[in-house]
């Protein structure tokens, strides 16, 4: 059906029942049984109790007092107001040529302000993760909406769409971030309430966190090292696995290890000084003065480091990527080695921390050394949250920590072959038959 013309509007006759003559774009002429004619427009604004858009009708005015041309201009003004989040009324259409500009901030604008304020508190990695979640999950749904127009049903629909695809933890995390933006908006007077605050109980409960799989029996852990080091792979990978087993550092701390972090390797007190900036924690923890994590090195750890030095000593990184010398080893490299050796879902690189903690704490208990528990926590960088206590403890008990590092290395590598046996060995099987290899 085409658009109306002045002639067609003038010729509109009364019928037994009221009817409509459409002009397109939601505008139509409504003609009653008594031939009263008025311009009307259908539109959507707000939502009902079920969260569905409300269908509404705007009466622009009667014909011929308002011509077809005037009705079209009024419709355009009404649509402009709706686009700005304002509901039009008949008086809005002719008392001003254009709807007032809606200066209320959008969710995206407030979220960007909030994020900017978190820079001093968060690490660059965490800030990037939060930005990505907002851009990928939240902005497409509510980013351009005015903060004051976003209600609880609107937020719940967004969160349920995420939870329905199985990402329940993500849905809870997004709720926290939306709530944080609203709390910031409340503080600045943009809004008076946080519609995300009460939605936690409505979302599906978070699945229980699964602990990282770890072998915590000493004999089985020794066998794991034997099995992994018997696999064919780069010698750097085998040495990295042995070093993480000996030091019980976090995988990320191992991957990012740099040569300048190792001290006194030829002296009586070799040490791995992991900078605070590379440690787990918030920005405050990473920026602490004298906040480095000190890892005393057993002779077996020094042996590993010395063995890899001819291979990667010319790079800044101790364990660089195979393809890019300036990038650290992939976080999946050690995990893949464990899987190939038959330890899928039985042990992961992070599991060496659990193994060290369990075995050494049980040993301390058996030997009647209850004070070793606090020392073991320090070796794992499980430090107190109090800054003063943390600064004191970071370098505390160093003598005992060095002793425990040596005892752990002796237990773990008793009768184990020296690292030199891996140098020059084939790194993969050939593809043309069992037992064949490429040196």
- Which residues are tagged catalytic? 250, 280, 350, 353, 382, 392
| Residue among 252, 274, 288, 253 at smallest CA distance from 386 | 288
* DSSP at 101: P
| Contact yes or no for 335/349 (Cβ under 8 A) | yes
Q: Which two tokens stand for residue 197?
A: 């605050």
| Contact yes or no for 374/360 (Cβ under 8 A) | no
SS3 content of the chain, % helix, strand, coil (to 5): 45, 10, 40
| Residue among 124, 110, 284 at smallest CA distance from 180 | 110
| Contact yes or no for 14/31 (Cβ under 8 A) | yes
Distance CA 192, CA 186 (A): 5
| Residue among 143, 29, 27 at smallest CA distance from 77 | 27
Residues 6+ apart with CB under 8 A from 433: none
How big is the chain by its Cα radius of gyration, in Å? 34
Distance CA 279, CA 391 (A): 14
């Amino acid at each position: 059906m085409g658009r109306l013309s002045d002639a067609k509007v003038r010729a509109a006759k009364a019928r037994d029942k009221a009817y409509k003559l459409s002009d397109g774009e939601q505008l139509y002429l409504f003609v009653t049984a008594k031939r009263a004619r008025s311009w009307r427009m259908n539109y959507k604004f707000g939502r009902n109790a079920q969260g569905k858009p409300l269908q509404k009708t705007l009466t622009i005015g009667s014909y011929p007092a308002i011509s077809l041309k005037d009705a079209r201009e009024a419709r355009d003004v009404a649509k402009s107001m709706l686009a700005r989040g304002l509901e039009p009324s008949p008086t809005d259409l002719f008392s001003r040529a254009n709807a007032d500009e809606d200066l209320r901030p959008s969710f995206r604008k407030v979220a960007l302000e909030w994020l900017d304020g978190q820079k001093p508190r968060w690490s660059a990695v965490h800030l990037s993760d939060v930005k990505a979640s907002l851009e990928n999950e939240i902005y497409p749904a509510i980013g351009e909406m005015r903060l004051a127009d976003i209600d609880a049903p609107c937020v719940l629909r967004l969160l349920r769409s995420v939870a329905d695809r199985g990402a329940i933890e993500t849905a809870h995390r997004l709720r926290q971030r939306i709530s944080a933006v609203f709390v910031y908006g409340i503080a600045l007077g943009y809004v008076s309430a946080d519609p995300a605050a009460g939605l936690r109980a409505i979302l599906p409960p978070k699945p229980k966190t699964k602990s990282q799989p770890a072998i915590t029996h000493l004999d089985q852990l020794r066998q794991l090292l034997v099995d992994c080091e018997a696999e064919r792979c780069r010698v750097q990978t085998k040495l990295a696995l042995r070093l993480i087993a000996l030091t019980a550092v976090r995988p990320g701390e191992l991957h990012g290890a740099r040569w300048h972090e190792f001290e006194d390797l030829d002296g009586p007190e070799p040490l791995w000084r992991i900078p605070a900036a590379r440690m787990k924690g918030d920005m405050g923890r990473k920026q602490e003065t004298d906040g480095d994590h000190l890892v005393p090195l057993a002779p077996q750890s020094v042996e590993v480091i010395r063995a890899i030095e001819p291979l990667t000593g010319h790079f800044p990184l101790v364990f660089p990527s195979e393809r890019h010398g300036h990038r650290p080893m992939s976080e999946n490299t050690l995990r893949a080695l464990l899987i190939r050796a038959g330890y899928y879902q039985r042990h992961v690189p992070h599991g060496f921390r659990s193994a060290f903690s369990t075995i050494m704490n049980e040993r301390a208990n058996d030997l009647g050394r209850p004070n070793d528990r606090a020392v073991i926590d320090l070796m794992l960088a499980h430090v107190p949250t109090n800054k003063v206590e943390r600064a004191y403890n970071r370098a505390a008990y160093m003598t005992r920590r060095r002793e425990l590092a040596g005892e752990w290395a002796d237990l773990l590598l008793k009768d184990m072959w020296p690292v030199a046996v891996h140098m020059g060995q084939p790194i993969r099987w050939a593809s043309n038959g069992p037992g064949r290899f490429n040196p």
